[in-house]
Every structure is written in structure tokens, then in C-alpha cells.
Amino acid sequence: MTNRATVVTGLGCLSAAGRDLDTAWKNMMTGVARPHPPTKIRVETKRLSPVFEVADGEWRPSNIPLGRPVDKTLSVEYFLSAFEEALKQAGLSVEDLRGRRVGVCLGTTVGCTLNDERFYRDFRTGLEPGLGAIRRFLDNNPAQFASEALDLRGPVCTINNACSSGTDAVGQAREWIQDGLCDIVIAGGTDELSRIPYLGFSALLNTSEKACKPFDARRDGLNLGEGAGVLIVESRDHAARRGAPALVEVGGYGCSADAHHITAPHPGGLGLERAVRQALADRDPRQVSFINAHGTATVPNDMVEGQTLARLFGPKVAVVGTKSYTGHALGAAGALEAVFTVQGLVKGEIPTTRGFEEPDPECVVVPTVKPTGVARTYAISTSLAFGGTNSAILMSVVP
């Protein structure tokens, strides 16, 4: 490991909060959120949970030139939209990247794998549905798609680590830079709404029939979402050589596995604590100005996360739950939250946690109830995933 400093030079996002980062941040700072019954997927259940959809009329497909025509999934389209925005802020063009040591690390959970129900039904009933759905699936591995389409020469990885996938992708990007495997990494996550996970989460009884309320005493479940978050991550030296200003440094990353339960976090938050301590390294927790929490608004997750964060940082630490604006975007969640964490440090303020009204003593921490100014020092974003995975990344203002 060369231990090269790793910085973020570009941000991009697409979600129900907005078609780009500026729009999303404005909506979040003014408390605007738009959960509603699903319109893109067909559901026939008595118990209907609202979702945070990317509205078809509020975003435009990317104009990035690709090497060959591909029948793109929404997951790839969402990624390209966020990537184009991040690339512009980083002061880069596609031609600047072609043929160079640029890595791609993207998280996804659903991707396009669960939107081919018709193909599977036809196949099971003895019909011959053709290979179009299979080709589309193989052509739309997000990271591989980006690397091939842009003719990149760095490492490639699509991370499928449930709800921590996007966070892990940013952490992996930092490690690639530190190991000297590449100079730039396109990092983030992307996911689209799908009927199967919607029904699956409903069957688990962990979705709410109302807008989600992270850390609220009356919270009763999550709302699913979709979208993409992209960060342009590069070595500090490389950014300096091309004159690109660094937004923040990716100062730390930690991950662990509870090995406790397939869906529930360890009741003592042991895995989350290990991940956060790894991300902090030898830094004083009191220097952390805020935490963008996983904050799903499910009863056990918020309780365990809140207690763990209070134990590590004190009960008065500033906590925000941005899923109240994006929903739980699965593999894209950690990437979107990483983008918003950087933005909070850059702006020196974080939004209110929408829907929060009544503190829960069992959560200990109380999330933001209004737009809140924060010190431009350190911030942490956390993710707790099915399977017991816990991940955390530390962002810091570049000195």
C-alpha cells in the first residue's frame, strides 16, 4: 500500500429528491419530499407502501458518447446521468479518461436482474422467449458497462453487498487509489425499483404505509427508492497535477460482518461499532461534525444504530437521515448518502430529517429537526445491510 491521500473532485446524483445534486440539495434543505404509491411497477397487495421514484419527466438520459449501442436498463441510465454530472464538476471529459488508469467500482443490489419476470414466466411454461432479456442482463453489469463503454484501463468491480454496496464501492475506490492501482476511480451505486424486492420487503413487514420517519418514536418501516450516486475519486497528487480542486478527502473506511442474523443487526451494534472505529482510525470522535445515518426508519435498525452512534460520539452528535428524501435506494443508498455527506461538509450545513417528530428514548440520538449548521471538519456516513454487513466512510475537509 502506498498510502496516497484520496480525494473527491466530482459529485453527481439522481433520485426522487432531484434530477441533480443542486436540485436535490435545495429540496432537502427546504424539506421537500415526494413519496407516493408506485407507478412504475405493478403491485396487487392490500398493504401498499409509498415509494420514492425517479420521475420520468424530471431527468434526461445522458449525452455521454458510448462505444456501442446497448439496450440500457434504468440502473445504467441512472448511473450515466449521475456520472455525467460528477464528471463535469471534476473538470474531466470522457476523452480525458479513455485508455487511462481509471477504475470503476459501483454498488447495486437489484440492478436489472429482477425486472425480467415475463422472460422467466414464459420460460417456465415451455415457451421460447428468446435471449433478449439475457443479453440485456449481461450487457448491463454497471461497472463492466462503464469500463468497456469508456475504454478504461483500471480495475473493475460491481459490488453486490445488499444495502451497504454503495458505501463499500467508495471505500474500495479509496483502497485502489492507496494501493496505486489507478489514478482515478468512478465510484458509487445505482439501483432501480423492481416489483420483486417491493413485494419481498412488504412480506417482511418492514415497509411503512406512510412516509418513513427515521428515528421517530412512531416509525414503522421503510419506503423503497431508486437512483444513483457517483463520486469521482482520485489521488490528491493526481488532482493537484491537473489543477482540480478537492472537495473533501476520503479519510477512512471500515467494514465488518455481524454474523448474527440474516436481516437484523446485532442488538449491541458490535459490527457497526467495529466499522466506524476502522473508519475513524486514530481520530478523536469529538472531531466528527455530523453523521449521515443509515436511518431506514425500521424499528430495530434505528434503535441499534442510534444507540451505537450515541455510544461512540455522544448523544448530542448531529445526525441526519437523508432516506427521508430518497427512500431506501438499496445498492445506491450508500452512494447517494456519501454524495450528501460530502455536500454537507462543503456547504457547512445539513437538512432536516423529514418526518421526524417525536424522539425515541431507545434510539438515544435525536436527528435534525431543522436545517443545521455544522463544522467543516469530519463527517461519517454509515450503512447497515442484510446479511449483517456494516460499513462506514469518513470524509474530511482538505486542509
Q: Are 168 and 332 in contact (CB under 8 A)?
A: no
Taking 3-state DSSP, the helix, strand and coil percentages for the chain, each rounded to the nearest 5, stand at 35, 20, 45
In sequence order, what are the residues at sequence separation of 6 or more whose Cβ sits closer than 8 angstroms to the Cβ of residue 44? none
Residue 89 one-letter amino acid: Q
* Nearest Cα to Cα of residue 229 among 54, 360, 356: 54
CA 306 to chain centre: 19
113/74 Cα distance (integer angstroms): 11
Of 200, 299, 257, 288, the C-alpha closest to 384 is 257
Q: How many CB atoms lie within 10 A of CB 178?
A: 17
- Residue 241, SS3 per DSSP: helix
Strands (E), 57-214: 102-107, 156-159, 184-191
Residue 384, beta-bridge partner list: 390
Residue 102 is classified by DSSP as E
Q: Where are the alpha helices (DSSP H) in the chain?
A: 21-29, 74-89, 94-97, 117-124, 132-139, 142-149, 165-178, 195-203, 236-241, 270-280, 299-313, 323-326, 333-347
Pinpoint the alpha helices (H) of 214-349.
236-241, 270-280, 299-313, 323-326, 333-347
d(CA 17, CA 182): 32
Cβ neighbours for 347, distance < 8 A, ≥ 6 positions apart: 25
Cα dihedral sign, 216-219-222-223:
negative
Biggest CA pair distance of the chain: 64
Contact 361, 310 (CB under 8 A): no
Catalytic residues: 163, 294, 328
